[in-house]
Every structure is written in C-alpha cells, then in structure tokens.
Amino acid sequence: MRAANICRKTRETDITACLNLDGSGQADIRTGIGFFDHMLTALTVHASFDLTLRAAGDLDVDCHHTVEDAGIVLGDALKKALGESPVDRYGSFYIPMDEALGFAALDISGRPFLYWECELASPAVGAFDTQAAEEFFRAFAMHAGITLHLRALYGKNDHHKLEALFKALGHALKAAVRPRDGAVLSTKGVL
C-alpha cells in the first residue's frame, strides 16, 4: 500500500497527516481554517487519495504557520508514500470553476520548484489569508520533491480561482502518481 503517516510539531503548529495514494477520495480534514479545510478536501477528492489531517496552530496570530506547515507535512507524506516505485511522473490539468480557470502541471522529478501565477484581489477568503496559498504550494512542492506550475488563467472571484487550482492539482497528482510497470520514466534511468 502506498501510504504514509507524518507528524510535525513545532512551537507554532502540531500537524499529523495520514495519506493513502490508492484511496477513493475520502477526506477528514481539520485545520481550524474552514476555507483551507474545503480546499484540502477538494484536492483529496479530485486526486482520489484518502487523507486524514489534523492541525493545531497559532491561529491567534494568523493562519500562515498552519497553512505552510500543512504543506510541509503533506509534501513529506506524498514523498514517503511514493517511495522508490516507478510512477507515470507527469500530470497536468485544467479546471474551470464558474468564471475562473485554473491550470496545474507537475513533474515528480526530485527537483523541487514552484511556479506560481495567481492574482488575488482579496486579502482573505473567510479566515484564510490569500497570501498563504502560495506558501502552502511552495512548502508542498519543496517537501514532495516535485516541480509544480500553477496558474489561475483568469477569474474574478478569489474563492473560485483558488478552488480551481487545488482541484487541478488533485487531478494532476492523480495522473502523475499512477504506478508504472518497468523502469523509471527518465532518459537518465534515475530521477
């Protein structure tokens, strides 16, 4: 089974995640940030993963540490769950969300990188600081060891733009983590 349990405890956050890559889209997420729970649930469902995530953070300060550290934990869980088994490696997907269109492309390469292009007009969606979205995706990509490109191509509603990106990432991950028969997909023979 391609699964991982990760715990991370700092002075600012206490986060645990149980991730199963071969799940059915079951999400049980509690971060204390309603919109973020909604986004992580969307990612999980669209990736067809199973994810249980619990986060306690210094929300009296703001949501930044909780969101960023959740990205670290989820990235670590993905990397551990993948192990060394060959996968299809690449995934990309467009998601329309009402007036917004989001795009995600990724490479499970061992070379972490984030390209982020998403103009957000509002400082927050609910209790979620919109600036924290980029921090989540960066932490996730760096700790998962993936190259990740995310673009909100257009849209007016920040909720829709962010939801399109989380869902697009879910679909791109679903394609990229599919088990592959034979060797690693690389001209070098290794990632």
- The whole-model pTM stands at 0.95
What is the number of structural domains in the chain? 1
Amino acid occupying residue 116: W
CA-closest candidate to residue 4, choices 167, 166, 177 = 177
How high is the pLDDT of residue 167?
A: 98
pLDDT digits (tens, 9 = 90+) for 120-175: 999 999 999 999 999 999 999 999 999 999 999 999 999 999 999 999 999 999 99
How high is the pLDDT of residue 181?
A: 82
Residue 28 forms part of a structural domain: yes
How high is the pLDDT of residue 187?
A: 63
Residue 184 forms part of a structural domain: no
3-state DSSP assignment of residue 155: coil
Residue 83 forms part of a structural domain: yes
Q: How far is residue 59 from each of residues 69, 119, 169, 174, measured CA to CA in Å?
A: 13, 24, 26, 31
How high is the pLDDT of residue 190?
A: 61
Residue 57 forms part of a structural domain: yes
Residue 182 forms part of a structural domain: no
Residue 21 forms part of a structural domain: yes
Burial of 11 (0-12, 13-18, 19+ CB in 10 A): exposed
C-alpha–C-alpha distance, residues 3 and 90, integer Å: 20
Residue 181 forms part of a structural domain: no
Where do we find the tokens 């690693």?
Answer: 184
C-alpha Rg value of the chain to the nearest Å: 16
Up-side HSE of residue 163: CA atoms within 13 Å toward CB? 18
The tokens describing 86, both together, are 């060959």
C-alpha–C-alpha distance, residues 186 and 107, integer Å: 11
Q: Which domain holds residue 53?
A: 3-176
Residue 186 forms part of a structural domain: no
How high is the pLDDT of residue 85?
A: 85
C-alpha–C-alpha distance, residues 126 and 116, integer Å: 22
| Residue ranges, the chain, pLDDT below 70 | 184-191
How high is the pLDDT of residue 71?
A: 98
- Supply the CATH number for residue 89's domain: 3.30.230.40
